[in-house]
């Protein structure tokens, strides 16, 4: 497999590039536990400030050494932790614009309970303090998803399901924003009705005017 190895390899000789370094290999289990703990704390402790290496280590059941061996500091750890939120990118079925939009909207909805939405929310609010982190997050996580929805709408214009003069860049945040607001507008223990996604998409498609 020859995966991983962020360790310094410096393959100076003509050896095979896949040479496994000597000594005990790093524990994948520990690495995963660290990432999980980081994401948990990011949500529970309300942002980057609430994540301390000591707390991550304690929660992951890991020594601080094990963290510092992999990441130089908190920021780097959080960047890597957020990167794991990227996948999976939703793939529209392509049967109809309405169905695809509902599926995408539902992906936001199902993100509730999941950590994803909370992480994003907590971090995006901190662009004043951590601009590069937020930029990375927008580029790697948010924008790809916007691009998917953008594709759906563009295809809709071609098939005639969407009016050709639609301002797509306004429509995107309208649907995403409506879902996010609904999701975040409630207390963590409340439940959202099952058909929010349908209602949002149908309202958006139909418009407010008579």
Say which residue the tokens 């994401």 belong to.
Answer: 39
Work out how close the CB of 87 gets to DNA at its nearest, in angstroms, rounded to a whole number.
24
66 near DNA, judged by CB under 7 A: yes
Which stretch in 17-25, 65-73, 80-88, 180-188 sits in contact with a second copy by CB under 8 A?
A: 180-188
Residues 206, 210: Cα–Cα separation, whole Å: 9
CA angle, 34 then 186 then 182, to 5°: 95
Instruction: Select from 2, 14, 24, 189 the one that contacts DNA (CB under 7 A).
Output: 24
Residues 140, 135: Cα–Cα separation, whole Å: 9
Instruction: Select from 58, 59, 66, 127 the one that contacts a second copy (CB under 8 A).
Output: 127
Footprint on residues 37-76 left by a second copy (CB under 8 A): 43-50
Residues 139, 150: Cα–Cα separation, whole Å: 15
128 near DNA, judged by CB under 7 A: no
Residues 84, 173: Cα–Cα separation, whole Å: 24
138 near a second copy, judged by CB under 8 A: yes
Instruction: Select from 9, 11, 18, 25 the one that contacts DNA (CB under 7 A).
Output: 25
How many CB atoms within 10 Å of residue 42? Answer: 24
Say which residue the tokens 């995107």 belong to.
Answer: 172
How many CB atoms within 10 Å of residue 198? Answer: 15
Q: Which is nearer to a second copy, 24 or 95 (CB)?
A: 95
Terminal Cα-to-Cα distance of the chain (whole angstroms): 60
List contacts with DNA (CB under 7 A): 7, 20-27, 30-31, 51-55, 61-66, 68-69, 73-74
List contacts with a second copy (CB under 8 A): 43-50, 118, 121-122, 124-131, 135, 138, 142, 153, 156, 160-164, 166-167, 170-182, 184-185, 187-188, 196, 199-200, 203-210
């Amino acid at each position: 497999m020859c995966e991983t190895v962020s360790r310094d390899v410096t393959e100076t000789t003509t050896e095979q590039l896949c040479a496994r370094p000597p000594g005990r290999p790093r524990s994948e289990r520990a690495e995963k536990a660290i990432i999980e703990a980081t994401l948990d704390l990011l949500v529970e402790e309300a942002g980057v400030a609430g994540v301390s290496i000591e707390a991550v280590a304690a929660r992951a059941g890991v020594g601080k050494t094990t963290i510092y061996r992999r990441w130089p500091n908190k920021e780097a750890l959080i960047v890597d932790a957020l990167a794991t939120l990227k996948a999976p990118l939703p793939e529209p079925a392509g049967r109809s614009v309405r169905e695809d939009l509902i599926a995408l909207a539902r992906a936001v909805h199902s993100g509730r309970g999941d950590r994803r939405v909370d992480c994003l929310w907590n971090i995006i609010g901190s662009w004043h303090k951590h601009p590069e982190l937020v930029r990375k997050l927008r580029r790697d996580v948010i924008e790809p998803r916007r691009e998917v929805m953008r594709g759906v709408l563009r295809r809709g214009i071609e098939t005639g399901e969407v009016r050709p003069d639609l301002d797509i860049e306004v429509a995107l945040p309208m649907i995403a924003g409506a879902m996010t607001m609904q999701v975040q507008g409630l207390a963590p223990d409340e439940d959202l009705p099952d058909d929010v996604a349908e209602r949002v998409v149908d309202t958006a498609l139909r418009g407010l005017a008579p």
